[in-house]
Amino acid sequence: MTAASITQATLALGDREGEKAMSMRRIAAELGCDPMAIYRHFPNREALLDAVADSVVAEVPAPGGGGPWDERIRVVLTGMRAVALRHPGIAGHIASRPPLGPCGRRVAGELFVALAEAGLAPGDVVRAFQALIAYAAAGLRMAVDAGVQDRRWQQVSAAMEGLPGEALPVVGSAEQFDYGLRLLLSGIRLEGERAAG
C-alpha cells in the first residue's frame, strides 16, 4: 500500500468503469483495504485525483527540440488531449483542473519556452499560456461530454439558418479541436510579430 499503488488502482478503475467508479469506497474495495487507509496517503479525494491526473500527464509526448514553436505547441496540446481521452475516467478531472504536479509543470514549461520563442513579452507569455490551457481544457471537456451533448449541440447548429446540416464538424472531435487551436496560434503569431517588428 503506497501512494503509487493507490494511484495506479484508481486509474485502472476509472479506465474500466468511468468517473463515478472512482469513489473512495470503490477504490478501497479494489485494493482490498478499508476506505480510511487511503487517507493515510492522501488528505482527501481531490488530492488523490490530482495525483492520478498527473500520472496520466506523464504520458504526454515531449516535442523534439528543433521544430518551430507553433508546431511544438500543437504537438503538446493535441498529445495532452489524446492521452487524457485514453483514460476516460480521469479525463473530466484533467479538463476541469489542469494538472499541476511535476508532469504538468514539465508540459507547462514546454509551452512557456515555445511562447517566448514566438516573440511575446513576458507578461503576454503568461496570458497566452493561460488562454491555451483554458482552450485545451475546454476542448477536452467537449470530447468527454460528446456522447451526452452531441445531439444538443447539433440541435443548436442545425437551428441556424443557411448552414448545411450534413457538413457539420463533430463536436469535440480532434478536427474541431485543431481548428480552434490554429486560430489561437494565428493570433499569437500576429502578436509576436507585432511585438518584435
Partner DNA sequence: ACCTGAACACCGTTCAAGT
Q: Find the part of the chain contacting a copy of itself (CB under 8 A) among 15-23, 30-38, 74-82, 187-195.
A: 187-195
Work out which of 83, 85, 100, 146 binds a copy of itself, going by CB under 8 A: 100
- In whole angstroms, the minimum distance from the beta carbon of 164 to DNA comes to 36
For 171: left if phi > 0, alpha if psi spans -120 to 50, otherwise beta; the answer is beta
Give the residue with the Cβ less far from DNA, 148 or 156.
148
Cβ atoms within 10 Å of 189's Cβ, excluding its own: 15
Which residues make Cβ contacts (< 8 Å) with residue 178, sequence separation at least 6?
Answer: 74, 78
106 lies in the site for DNA, by CB under 7 A: no
**Distance separating alpha carbons of residues 123 and 40, to the nearest angstrom:** 40
Give the residue with the Cβ less far from a copy of itself, 13 or 143.
143
- Nearest Cα neighbor of 99 from 120, 115, 78, 84 is 84
53 lies in the site for a copy of itself, by CB under 8 A: no
Distances (CA, A) of 36 to 28, 31, 50: 8, 12, 18
The amino acid occupying position 143 is A
47 lies in the site for a copy of itself, by CB under 8 A: no
Work out which of 37, 83, 103, 116 binds DNA, going by CB under 7 A: 37
Cell numbers found for residue 12: 485502472
Q: What Rg value do the Cα atoms of the chain yield, rounded?
A: 19
Give the residue with the Cβ less far from a copy of itself, 61 or 109.
109
77 lies in the site for a copy of itself, by CB under 8 A: no
Kindly write out the interface string for residues 42-61 of this chain, putting x where it contacts DNA by CB under 7 A and - elsewhere.
Answer: --xxx---------------
Give the residue with the Cβ less far from a copy of itself, 32 or 162.
162
Helix ranges restricted to H, 58-121: 69-85, 88-96, 102-117
- In whole angstroms, the minimum distance from the beta carbon of 8 to DNA comes to 18
Q: Given the rule CB under 7 A, which residues bind DNA?
A: 21-26, 33-37, 39-40, 44-46
